[in-house]
Amino acid sequence: MNGKRVLVGVTGGIAAYKSVELVRLLRRAGAEVQVVVTRAATEFITPMTLQAISGRVVRQQLFDPVNEAAMGHIELARWADLVLVAPASADFMARLAAGMADDLLTTLSLATEAPLVLAPAMNRAMWRNPATRENVARLIRRGIRMWGPAVGDQACGEQGPGRMLEPAQLIDQVQRLLAGGLFSDVQLLITAGPTREAIDPVRFLSNRSSGKMGYALARSFAAQGALVTLVSGPVSLQEPPGINCVQVETALQMRAAVMERVAACNIFVACAAVADYRPLEVMARKIKKQAQRLRIELIRNPDILAEVAAMDVAPFTLGFAAETERPVEQAEQKRISKGVDAIAANLVAAAEGGFERDENALTLLWEGGRKQLPMMEKGLLADELVKQMAEIYAKKG
Ligand code: CTP
């Protein structure tokens, strides 16, 4: 980050104490840092602390007679290579979404032509509130990047989405953004692996997905700068470094993990082999072998991909179609019926690639286009798929 100019905005939230560490790490990575605080931020952290760490006088006032004599807010907006607001409170996002310019930080956010990134931090109910949802969607549509929030323990004692990303994660992301990969401005959510549907305490229904393709894709997108969250069913793979991993077991858990995070993402990739059905009843005790025949009644699981694609403000969606025959034809039908932007057709017959293998071949289909990716190692295939996706995503605007 040598010589890069990062303007760090700090708004009013308990996570403001983490901004000190963020500024320290940015400086250590070689960036020049100018901190701008809102009035509410100063209730949580003093400008003096931030000034000492950043090595520059912290700016707060819009109507500052000294700095505004030279149009200080415009000068700040031009100065920055990147504007990173961390933490971004619900109130700040609402003001930004409304296009208001009622303090120095909102004003320079409107005036800047540099990438603008928000790291939201708030109580989980505030994050889930429809007002915040609408504001987030509007901001994302305008090209404002949203990093996080993470899901976890909250200062208010609750649990859920709303934690600010850790400073080290933010730094990692700033580095990717400034380095400029194909997806450096993208927040991506991906599912991978199989799901397990319990029959009784010791048995489950599942499938042969190894998770290798999904994990390879998560790595390839991250290598191109995306901020990746991987929701994974049970697999025997290492969690990839630099990727936020969420482990789940059942289709219902996978759906909940996706729905909790999807509002903040630009791209959703459904690579998981989600069980289409689960046992209607899960036995509390192990089923004993008494009867000669045993029936297990199954009930449909929700289709996560179709649900995400049907959202009012849906992210760009990439699905997979695992087929044992006529893969391209069936995948095209799935693309249209689920309303997804692109789908990768995958033949999973025994002699081919697909499940449990290290190699695979895919045909990527999107509206008005198709690209065949021949049999190759899944890591290489993921890189090719990501390159192709960058073109389709850019076209979709
Ligand atoms: N998918 C999903 N949730 C489900 C089932 C599937 O998100 N409950 C996603 C998969 O991750 C994949 C796509 O939908 O991206 C297609 O999955 P696939 O199993 O090939 O098709 P299905 O829709 O389940 O249809 P069928 O099993 O009848 O072929």
pLDDT of 311-321, one tens digit each? 988 999 999 99
What are the pLDDT digits (tens) for 231-287? 999 999 999 877 889 999 999 999 999 999 998 889 999 999 999 999 999 999 999
Tell me, yes or no, whether 328 and 264 share the same domain: yes
Tell me, yes or no, whether 333 and 302 share the same domain: yes
Across the range 293-305, mean pLDDT stands at 97
Looking at 178, 211, 226, the residue that finishes a domain is: 178
Burial environment of residue 306 by CB neighbours within 10 A (0 to 12, 13 to 18, 19 or more)? middle
**Separation of alpha carbons 347 and 326, rounded Å:** 8
Structure confidence at residue 379 (pLDDT): 93
State the pLDDT confidence band at 374, using cuts at 50, 70 and 90. Answer: very high
Q: Which residues are known to be catalytic?
A: 156
User: Whose CA is closest to atom 20 on ligand 1?
Assistant: 321
**Span from the CA of 168 to the centroid of ligand 1 (angstroms):** 35
State the pLDDT confidence band at 81, using cuts at 50, 70 and 90. Answer: very high
Instruction: Specify the CATH number for the domain of residue 114.
Output: 3.40.50.1950
**Separation of alpha carbons 384 and 224, rounded Å:** 12
**Does the Cβ of 276 fall within 6 Å of ligand 1?**
yes
**Separation of alpha carbons 15 and 17, rounded Å:** 5
Instruction: Specify the CATH number for the domain of residue 216.
Output: 3.40.50.10300
**Does the Cβ of 355 fall within 6 Å of ligand 1?**
no
Tell me, yes or no, whether 84 and 63 share the same domain: yes
Domain that holds residue 89: 5-178
**Does the Cβ of 254 fall within 6 Å of ligand 1?**
no
User: Whose CA is closest to atom 27 on ligand 1?
Assistant: 276
Tell me, yes or no, whether 122 and 261 share the same domain: no
Tell me, yes or no, whether 168 and 194 share the same domain: no
**Separation of alpha carbons 313 and 291, rounded Å:** 51
Atom number, ligand 1, closest to the C-alpha of residue 320: 15
Looking at 138, 159, 178, the residue that finishes a domain is: 178
Q: Out of 259, 334, 341, give the residue to mutate to test ligand 1, the one with the largest number of ligand atoms within 8 Å of its CB.
A: 334
**Span from the CA of 175 to the centroid of ligand 1 (angstroms):** 35
**Minimal CA–CA distance to 173: which of 314, 1, 27, 19?**
1
Asked if 220 and 228 count as a contact pair (C-beta separation under 8 A), the reply is no
DSSP 8-state symbol, 42: G
What are the pLDDT digits (tens) for 18-59? 999 999 999 999 999 999 999 999 999 999 999 999 999 999
Tell me, yes or no, whether 162 and 220 share the same domain: no
Tokens of 188: 């991506």
Structure confidence at residue 10 (pLDDT): 98
Structure confidence at residue 111 (pLDDT): 96
Mean pLDDT, the chain, integer:
93
Half-sphere exposure of 199 (CA within 13 A, CB side): 13
Tell me, yes or no, whether 113 and 223 share the same domain: no
Atom number, ligand 1, closest to the C-alpha of residue 191: 11
Does the structure show a pLDDT above 80 at 360? yes
Tell me, yes or no, whether 248 and 371 share the same domain: yes
**Does the Cβ of 64 fall within 6 Å of ligand 1?**
no
**Span from the CA of 188 to the centroid of ligand 1 (angstroms):** 19
Looking at 178, 209, 232, the residue that finishes a domain is: 178
**Does the Cβ of 321 fall within 6 Å of ligand 1?**
yes
**Does the Cβ of 303 fall within 6 Å of ligand 1?**
yes
Quick count: other Cβ atoms within 10 Å of Cβ 180? Answer: 10
Tell me, yes or no, whether 84 and 118 share the same domain: yes
Structure confidence at residue 271 (pLDDT): 97
**Does the Cβ of 270 fall within 6 Å of ligand 1?**
yes
With H, G, I as helix, E, B as strand and everything else as coil, classify residue 267.
Answer: strand
Tell me, yes or no, whether 174 and 194 share the same domain: no
Tell me, yes or no, whether 78 and 195 share the same domain: no
Structure confidence at residue 268 (pLDDT): 98
**Separation of alpha carbons 193 and 249, rounded Å:** 10
**Does the Cβ of 340 fall within 6 Å of ligand 1?**
no
Rg (the chain; Cα; Å): 23
Does the structure show a pLDDT above 80 at 306? yes
DSSP element (H, E) containing 385:
helix 378-396
230 or 73, which is more confident: 230
- Which residues are within 8 A (CB) of 51 and not within 5 positions of it... i.e. 6 or more apart? 35, 57, 58
**Does the Cβ of 333 fall within 6 Å of ligand 1?**
no
**Span from the CA of 378 to the centroid of ligand 1 (angstroms):** 20
Does the structure show a pLDDT above 80 at 171? yes
User: Whose CA is closest to atom 17 on ligand 1?
Assistant: 321
**Span from the CA of 274 to the centroid of ligand 1 (angstroms):** 6
Domain count, the chain: 2
Chain centroid to Cα 133, Å, comes to 15
Asked if 54 and 7 count as a contact pair (C-beta separation under 8 A), the reply is no
N- to C-terminal Cα distance for the chain? Answer: 28
Strands (E), 294-379: 298-300, 316-323, 342-347, 359-366, 369-377
186 or 49, which is more confident: 49
Atom number, ligand 1, closest to the C-alpha of residue 331: 20
Tell me, yes or no, whether 34 and 152 share the same domain: yes
